[in-house]
Structure 1
Amino acid sequence: MHRTPTPRFRRSQLAAAVLALAAVTAFSAGHAAPAAKYASASHSPGTTTQLPRGVTPLHYILSITPDAAASTFKGAAAIKVAVDTPTASITFNTLNLAFAAAAIEGAGGSKQVTRKIDIDADKQTATVHFAEPLAKGEYLLRIDYTGKIGTQATGLFSLDYDTPQGRQRALYTQFENSDARSMLPSWDEPDYKATFALDVVVPSSQMAVGNMPIASSEELGNGMKHVYFATTPRMSTYLLFFGLGDFERATKMADGTELGVITKKGALAQSRFALDESAALLREYNDYFGVRYPLPKLDNIAAPGRSQFFGAMENWGAVFTFEYGLLLDPAISTQSDKENIYTTLSHEMAHQWFGDLVTMRWWDDLWLNEGFASWMESRTTERLHPEWNTTLSKVGGRESAMSQDALRTTHPVVQRIATVEQASQAFDGITYQKGKAVISMLEAYVGADTWRTAVRSYMRKHAYGNTVSDDLWREVDAAAGKPVSAIAHDFTLQPGVPMITVGDAVCRKGNTRVTLTQTEFSKDQPDKKPLSWKVPVIASTVGNGKLARVLVKNGKATLNVPGCGALLVNAGQSGYYRTLYAPAGTHALAGSFARLAPIDQLGLLADSQSLGMAGLQDPAAFLELVKATPLSADPQVLGRVAGSLNGLYEQYAGDTARQQAFARFAMARLAPMMAQTGWEAHAGEASSVATLRGRLIAILGDMGEPGVIAEARRRYAASEQDPSAMPAPLRRTILGVVAQHADAATWEQLHARAQQEKTPLVKNQLYDLLASTDDAALAQRALALALTDEPGVTNSPAMISRVSRRHPELAFDFALAHLEQVNARIDASSRSRYFPRLAAGSAQPEMIAKLEAYAQANLPASARGDADSSVAGIKYRIKVRTERLPAVDAWLAKQTG
């Protein structure tokens, strides 16, 4: 998932372009690619398409003249196409474009003006008809048209932002998954790769940015210039990029590539971390993939504002990222921000290979882009920044996927995509996090060197092309010398979470023998017939350190493990499955918990809590592990304990007496952690300690711990005279506690700050704070404020979403009551996701009927995936409250009785 003449082609320009098409070059000197990559292309047989077959684009010459003030643009496209089957019409994608004229030219200068142009708004296509059929061959299709510049991050859009000098407007594009068609008539599907030559007529004072370097620029007079970008390599339409604004750019060279970071003027200093790290990342990726980054430049463009649905986009050579995901502001940025920026940077740069150089053939295999980029971001962060100890974060990512994958509404990693709306909904935790977890498991199964050999071969064979998952599995099978694809198919072609049940262990002659049984973990289908997986299992005994491996097939396996200590299954946590132990095994691991590696402590905590909430073991088993977690545990383990306790605390929402009883236990457990961590940073402390500090303050504040709330308020008040009272790493956290517990006067004070703030990053945070209050009346005021012009159009949906975290019913009802106004602030392709997610945190039965009614009235059946998932999540939350929390209550009573 972080811009005077009209653009009509001059006759001389068109003639030159036609002559040049036969020998298009995509790169500057030193970046040449094989000519065969550009000579021609045909649509891959068997590939899903929503367009008629028989006409394939080869090269686009695209000229754009934006009018930012009027929010419109003029466009002219000259598209070289290959006609494979004689036809009297050509159909391509279009969305909200108005066509002025179209013509086609063939060999020898033959030309036809279109007889008519039919627009199908529902299919998002246009069909141009010709009086005479086109014979097989190559043609140049010319189209003049106009379009609109939007205010949400889709298509060609504008972002307005405040500066000390006044309001500014910048233009950017966001085309994934299917919005290139809103700026150019195109074959807007990933398998229709082509080359692109973009030129733009823009104000002379502004910087224009594209995928490729500027080839030439000429002044036109009247304060305008004509900018021509070099031709791109062969790529999919959704990767095309254009940006325009009052920008600055910093650069450095790495491995022969010019790296750049582009920001609004005045913010360039905040990009230094991203620029420096991108150089190290490029070198690492060039080495890992065995194929050098092929473009002459790679820019990261930071934009003010935000989207509810993505933070950055991997446009080839011109990565778009919202400022919060790329810039480090010393006044407000935290260690977590720094790590998140690095994660975003490494993810989007990995896409330059997985996604851009090699692209999935159709959206069914989106995980080939997103799962691999997610995996590469983690692998590379662990390698280049070991001091952050991010290896432990893979358990959290796996849990995020499993929470969705264990509901009846889940879907396979490789899923059938038939519509634009379904493609939009495919950008979810299964695609990203399950995809990543499955790759990690398979890499652990075959070995890191073997896996890299397979990836390198895949990149070499499919560069500039499109693939399906089996193209990768063939390379893995060949490199490993065994049928890894059989395991991969089980985990990617069917949904769900395997569960490995561990029988009673028997130790003889220094080895532990145990039977493993594979079933399926489900949160809401207790009687579901389990699917079957081939599951790679790694196990060890506590204190021994030697690993045993087995592939569980046909539902069972016997495992012999060196040593006679407590048996740990999924040692190292590379497996994508739940582990259910017999009571004796659970008890033994609880007694040995402090001796486990931190990653295994995290895995055991996660399994125990999930199995308990699903009714597969006593929920108290998780709480016993919480008690067994020592204060000396890794800060990320302590953070997991805190987060899990906070999640349970929130399950009690609406039942004040029971919630307060649980809070007393949780706060007593967390107070020693807070005392150990303290409010002040210590010299030389690990970055994970800084992260834990902020997390503990936020969670204890959420639970209403009086001391934390009082200290946050004290520091907030003192910051007026002493800015150090709210140091940058804690500023947002302290303000969050203050805002959550604000009275009307404090809320108004924060509102005044937001109105006066000129820095977009800080301004966004302040409006978020206004929507973070526990007080329902103040939350209602925040909702009303969100629909005014004051916060800015990209902040409006974010504020409503933020209210929904504490008041899901209030936020959903408000959004539904103002449906037209809210829809105007959300890009059309994402509305099917936005409203269901507002309701997702509810535990009220009434919300189920409301959400289902909304979906029935507003969404086509093919676009109800998020609505169905939210309903399933609400039902499960209700089940946990009614069937599981009583066991937690009973355990708590024993602790205090």
Structure 2
Amino acid sequence: MSDRAALLKPPEPFVPNETTETPANPHRLPRTVIPVRYDLTLRPDLDEATFTGNCTTTVEVLTATNTIVLNAVDLEIDEVHLEGLDGTRLHPELVALDSETERLTIELDAIAEPGTWHLQLHFRGVLNDKLKGFYRSTFTDGDGNEQVIATTQFEATDARRAFPCWDEPDLKAVFAVTLVVDPGLAALSNSAEIERTETDDGKVAVRFADTMKMSTYLVAFIVGPLEVTAPMDVDGTPLRVAYPKGKGHLTGYALEVGAFCLRYFADYYGIAYPGDKLDLVAIPDFAFGAMENLGCVTFREVLLLVDPERVTQPELARVTEVIAHELAHMWFGDLVTMRWWNGIWLNEAFATFMEMLATDAFRPEWEQWTSFGLARSAALDVDALRSTRPVEYPVVSPEDAEGMFDVLTYEKGAAVVRMLEQYLGAEVFRDGIRRYLARHQFTNTETTDLWDAIEEASGEPVRRIMDSWIFQGGFPVVEVDLVDDGGTIRLTQERFGYAGDLGGDDELEALRGTRWAIPVILTISINEVLTVERVLLEGDSVDVPVVEEIDFVLVNTEGTGFYRVRYAPDLLAALATRAATALSPIERYGLVDDAWAAVLADQMTAAQFLDLVGSFAAETDLSVWQRIIGALGALDRLIDGEPREVLRERVRALLHPALDRLGPAPAADETDRDRQLRGVLFEALGTIGNDHNVGDRARALLAESHRGTDVDASLVAASINVIAATGSAAEFEDFVARFAAAPTPQEELRYLSALADFDDPELMQRVLAMSITDQVRTQNAPYLLRRALSNRNQGSLAWFFIQDKWETINERFPSNSIVRMLEGIRTMLAPEVASTVFAFFETHEVPQGDKILAQHLERLEVNVALRAREAERFARSLT
């Protein structure tokens, strides 16, 4: 990346089904020899952080050859030979490891003829501290002793760090794993333990049943001082939770959710669970949130181990969602797998969609699809940028694969799947999913295989619709107007973009002309009678005739479409006056969300937006308030001095009545969402509203909680953040101590994250220094720095720290977390600081997240432009 223009250049359009399996791609393996079965034995040494292994891989030689090429990296190869079924043994003349392409090339002393052979390999490796491959994780037990776990994380391309293999998703095979471990240690893998024997050196060889045919990235093995719950029988599947010793009291909820999801998905998919057992495993150090290894799903502790009585509703919902997401993968991803990494979006998007369906079925009162509005907004925010990408795009290298794990893969992908499901109807859509899974089980697919199956089930042009959403970036704004003297509703589409992003040169004018096949669901009110219609908007516009004068029209009914809506002024006014009574919470959410996007697009002023949300004073829904408060926080960053004080007064006037309606503490019959809303309003009043009375109340509530008084978890979590925003050095020290001694993973993260909010440069320097020490786990440190970057007054200190410690950060933190940490640069609104951000990334790369980094930088430009455009006129409007 040589200059700013290159950073923000839109990606090239993706050609559907374009293959990356060519001789010119050094990251793809030849298909002359392919694996059928791995008999793998591993001996981890937890004290020395090393392991040895041997593997007999049954292979099919498809074309006569004397060269075998497979994947390996960071391994020492000690012995190799190839043996035929007739006893013929071929020896290597050359064994070469290429660290750049992560390939192991074996040149044999004779030609291997087509047929079945056994490749014998002995190798050694290191249990690394990078949280990928076969790696080392630690925790401190109840006696204060450090305990070590050896565990795995192979997605996308890191199985090759644990054993030589054909590490590509379409090269599926059966895995037979044996782990040789010290007595007394737990040993887990993908399938059930079938034999345990003592070895001559006093260790125990634990052998596991053969797996189904599956991809290398789904293999898992874990060894260490873990405890395991008694198995729960779920329609014949033993379900357990494995956890670091001493945390068994936090496992009950995961078992409840896991059992529900196994049954829910087996019914939805129409196929029994494909494994022979299911372990949910809590890992102290984990780079991802969780990983769908067949039968042995691994999680961050905070996303599996939970005390339901001590967490907020979002914390509990997040645990539920993540368990549901990973179990959805047992079928969609594990049983049927994408052919290559360009299709990973489908695995993750569909699992995200299914997590919402399952969680909604598990706890309908949580209104999951309303909550999903926040996630969809995050995807829309990125997808509005020039530097967005198609959901599916060519993946060449391991870095490309790693960069696929972003908001467009998960949240945009899930949103467009939901849009299709609601347009077709839930039952028809499910029939297509069942058809797809039954047809392709144990094999690999392309994205279009799914669309074809749903198209067969529905009779609708599914592939044509979905290709327009998957193979091109961005999304439309649907403009709504009345024509023909009110006899026709005209819907018109154009690409949506933030101010300045879509104008100027020919390239950007071409982007403006992008069109989608938009499945529009709209509600029309005539004489207070509502009708719902479905329209496919494929060209520039489509007309919907109406027989009488309408009261109002709502486009994007129930907020299931992945597009924004812009109404003609009179239609918007008619809708706004009826919002409180005629619209559902997610539809009201959409009005606020689209309005804030209009501010960023310079189609509405900040003052107009503030007036609009002022009309929501009677709002009662959690998600709507969360969207309003998020925008108020952004407005707060635009101004200082007297105008900021006036804004704070407006915030207090808007939020206090809503909080007063809820009362100071939960009622016995109150919903979980109302409990959380109380915490959200309380926190916003104490931070954005700078309400000193709320600050005093927060300190009193937290003190009561520390004394053992039963204080609602939502108020406890909110109080922590309120105190941090105005906290003293003594309160900082208290938070550090409580972070270190927290009794649950959720409380540990609450106190750790809040440290980044203290508004004192010396305290911020302490937080920054902590982030690159063992005081903060490397899985958590990048997110602590991301929050520090977002500190309104001290964020620049965090940015200059990251610049100064760039090499240390990249060596220390998991590679997938670097670009996530950098999301905080979006808030560097001061032009002089923003310019240093751009200058830094002209000479520093994040190869595993270059597309996401470009989006962060462009979003920073949008925010800087917003401040330049709005700060003065917004300040004038307030004073």
Q: What is the TM-score with the length of structure 2 in the denominator? A: 0.92
Query: More displaced, 871-880 or 852-861?
Result: 852-861
Query: More displaced, 432-441 or 845-854?
Result: 845-854
Q: Which residue of 2 aligns with 1:522?
A: 497
Alpha-carbon distance between aligned partners in 1 of 2:546 and 2:361, rounded to the nearest angstrom: 30
Q: 1:194 to 1:780 in 2, by over 3 A?
A: same
Q: Which residue of 2 aligns with 1:299?
A: 279
Please give the secondary structure, in 2, of the residue aligned with 1:172: strand
Deviation digits for residues 128-158 of structure 1, max 9, x if unmatched?
1111122222211111111111223211122
Alpha-carbon distance between aligned partners in 2 of 1:808 and 1:696, rounded to the nearest angstrom: 24
Query: More displaced, 424-433 or 539-548?
Result: 539-548
Specify which of 261, 264, 270 is matched with residue 281 of structure 1: 261
Please give the secondary structure, in 1, of the residue aligned with 2:95: strand
Specify which of 614, 627, 643 is matched with residue 601 of structure 2: 614
Residue 169 of structure 2 aligns with an amino acid whose one-letter code is P
Give the Å deviation of 1:863: 4.9
Q: Which residue of 2 aligns with 1:38?
A: none
Specify which of 110, 116, 119 is matched with residue 138 of structure 1: 116
Deviation digits for residues 78-111 of structure 1, max 9, x if unmatched?
1111111222211111121111111111131111
Deviation digits for residues 475-494 of structure 1, max 9, x if unmatched?
11111113121111111111
2:374–2:623 contact (8 Å) kept in structure 1: no
Alpha-carbon distance between aligned partners in 1 of 2:96 and 2:718, rounded to the nearest angstrom: 55
1:105–1:140 contact (8 Å) kept in structure 2: yes
Q: Which residue of 2 aligns with 1:18?
A: none
Determine whether 1:692 maps to 2:677: yes
Alpha-carbon distance between aligned partners in 1 of 2:783 and 2:517, rounded to the nearest angstrom: 42
Alpha-carbon distance between aligned partners in 2 of 1:173 and 1:163, rounded to the nearest angstrom: 21
1:507–1:564 contact (8 Å) kept in structure 2: no
Determine whether 1:474 maps to 2:457: no
Specify which of 778, 781, 801 is matched with residue 814 of structure 1: 801
Q: 1:450 to 1:763 in 2, by over 3 A?
A: closer
Query: More displaced, 737-746 or 477-486?
Result: 737-746
Q: 1:499 to 1:125 in 2, by over 3 A?
A: same
Query: More displaced, 864-873 or 822-831?
Result: 822-831
Q: Which residue of 2 aligns with 1:873?
A: 859
1:57–1:79 contact (8 Å) kept in structure 2: yes
1:594–1:633 contact (8 Å) kept in structure 2: no
Give the Å deviation of 1:835: 5.6
Specify which of 730, 754, 770 is matched with residue 755 of structure 2: 770
Specify which of 78, 96, 101 is matched with residue 100 of structure 1: 78
Query: More displaced, 191-200 or 164-173?
Result: 164-173
Please give the secondary structure, in 2, of the residue aligned with 1:414: coil
Q: Which residue of 2 aligns with 1:535?
A: 518
Please give the secondary structure, in 2, of the residue aligned with 1:494: coil
2:600–2:862 contact (8 Å) kept in structure 1: no
Q: Which residue of 1 aligns with 2:586?
A: 599
Q: Which residue of 1 aligns with 2:633?
A: 646
Alpha-carbon distance between aligned partners in 1 of 2:799 and 2:727, rounded to the nearest angstrom: 22
Q: Superposition pairs for residues 102-181 of structure 1, below 5 Å? A: 102-166=80-144, 167-181=146-160
Residue 469 of structure 1 aligns with an amino acid whose one-letter code is T
Please give the secondary structure, in 2, of the residue aligned with 1:576: coil
Q: Which residue of 2 aligns with 1:801?
A: 786
1:839–1:847 contact (8 Å) kept in structure 2: no
Please give the secondary structure, in 2, of the residue aligned with 1:228: strand
Q: Which residue of 1 aligns with 2:221?
A: 242
Alpha-carbon distance between aligned partners in 1 of 2:678 and 2:846, rounded to the nearest angstrom: 45
Q: Which residue of 2 aligns with 1:23?
A: none
2:682–2:715 contact (8 Å) kept in structure 1: no
Please give the secondary structure, in 2, of the residue aligned with 1:688: helix
Alpha-carbon distance between aligned partners in 1 of 2:772 and 2:278, rounded to the nearest angstrom: 37
Alpha-carbon distance between aligned partners in 2 of 1:424 and 1:658, rounded to the nearest angstrom: 44
Please give the secondary structure, in 2, of the residue aligned with 1:723: coil
2:705–2:716 contact (8 Å) kept in structure 1: no
Q: Which residue of 2 aligns with 1:21?
A: none
Q: Which residue of 2 aligns with 1:513?
A: 488
Q: 1:122 to 1:44 in 2, by over 3 A?
A: closer
Residue 625 of structure 1 aligns with an amino acid whose one-letter code is L
Q: 1:759 to 1:281 in 2, by over 3 A?
A: closer
Residue 171 of structure 1 aligns with an amino acid whose one-letter code is A
Residue 271 of structure 2 aligns with an amino acid whose one-letter code is V
Specify which of 732, 735, 738 is matched with residue 747 of structure 1: 732
Q: Superposition pairs for residues 299-378 of structure 1, below 5 Å? A: 299-307=279-287, 310-329=288-307, 332-378=310-356
2:785–2:821 contact (8 Å) kept in structure 1: no
Please give the secondary structure, in 2, of the residue aligned with 1:880: helix
Q: Superposition pairs for residues 703-742 of structure 1, below 5 Å? A: 703=688, 704-720=690-706, 722-724=707-709, 726-742=711-727
Determine whether 1:484 maps to 2:459: no
2:239–2:279 contact (8 Å) kept in structure 1: yes
2:816–2:848 contact (8 Å) kept in structure 1: no
Please give the secondary structure, in 2, of the residue aligned with 1:57: strand
1:794–1:825 contact (8 Å) kept in structure 2: no
User: Identity of paired residues, percent?
Assistant: 32
Query: More displaced, 629-638 or 808-817?
Result: 629-638
Q: Which residue of 2 aligns with 1:267?
A: 247
Alpha-carbon distance between aligned partners in 2 of 1:696 and 1:168, rounded to the nearest angstrom: 41
2:240–2:279 contact (8 Å) kept in structure 1: yes
Q: Which residue of 1 aligns with 2:811?
A: 824
Please give the secondary structure, in 2, of the residue aligned with 1:160: strand
Give the Å deviation of 1:783: 0.8
Residue 501 of structure 1 aligns with an amino acid whose one-letter code is E
Deviation digits for residues 504-530 of structure 1, max 9, x if unmatched?
36776xxx6211111110114242422
Deviation digits for residues 673-715 of structure 1, max 9, x if unmatched?
2222233111110110111122122222222221111111223
Q: 1:539 to 1:59 in 2, by over 3 A?
A: same
Q: 1:164 to 1:507 in 2, by over 3 A?
A: farther
Q: Which residue of 1 aligns with 2:433?
A: 455
Residue 551 of structure 2 aligns with an amino acid whose one-letter code is G
Please give the secondary structure, in 2, of the residue aligned with 1:394: helix
Alpha-carbon distance between aligned partners in 1 of 2:58 and 2:700, rounded to the nearest angstrom: 67
1:548–1:560 contact (8 Å) kept in structure 2: no
- Give the CA RMSD over aligned residues: 2.3
Alpha-carbon distance between aligned partners in 2 of 1:769 and 1:503, rounded to the nearest angstrom: 47
Alpha-carbon distance between aligned partners in 2 of 1:70 and 1:706, rounded to the nearest angstrom: 54
Deviation digits for residues 190-247 of structure 1, max 9, x if unmatched?
1111111111111111111111010111123665211001111111111111112222
Q: Runs of 5+ in structure 1 lacking a partner?
A: 1-42
Q: Which residue of 2 aligns with 1:31?
A: none
Please give the secondary structure, in 1, of the residue aligned with 2:809: helix
Alpha-carbon distance between aligned partners in 2 of 1:862 and 1:769, rounded to the nearest angstrom: 28
Alpha-carbon distance between aligned partners in 2 of 1:331 and 1:184, rounded to the nearest angstrom: 43
Q: 1:852 to 1:613 in 2, by over 3 A?
A: closer
Q: 1:802 to 1:150 in 2, by over 3 A?
A: farther
2:66–2:111 contact (8 Å) kept in structure 1: yes
Q: 1:149 to 1:758 in 2, by over 3 A?
A: farther
Alpha-carbon distance between aligned partners in 1 of 2:717 and 2:236, rounded to the nearest angstrom: 40
Deviation digits for residues 638-669 of structure 1, max 9, x if unmatched?
333233322322344xx344333322212211
Q: Which residue of 2 aligns with 1:582?
A: 568
Give the Å deviation of 1:306: 4.6
2:127–2:134 contact (8 Å) kept in structure 1: yes
Query: More displaced, 806-815 or 339-348?
Result: 806-815
1:191–1:360 contact (8 Å) kept in structure 2: yes
Q: Which residue of 2 aligns with 1:398?
A: 376
Query: More displaced, 801-810 or 871-880?
Result: 801-810
1:836–1:851 contact (8 Å) kept in structure 2: no
Residue 591 of structure 1 aligns with an amino acid whose one-letter code is T
Query: More displaced, 454-463 or 141-150?
Result: 141-150
1:845–1:875 contact (8 Å) kept in structure 2: no
Q: Runs of 5+ in structure 2 lacking a partner?
A: 1-18, 504-508
Q: Which residue of 2 aligns with 1:254?
A: 234
Alpha-carbon distance between aligned partners in 2 of 1:253 and 1:525, rounded to the nearest angstrom: 55
Q: How many residues align?
A: 842
Give the Å deviation of 1:849: 4.5
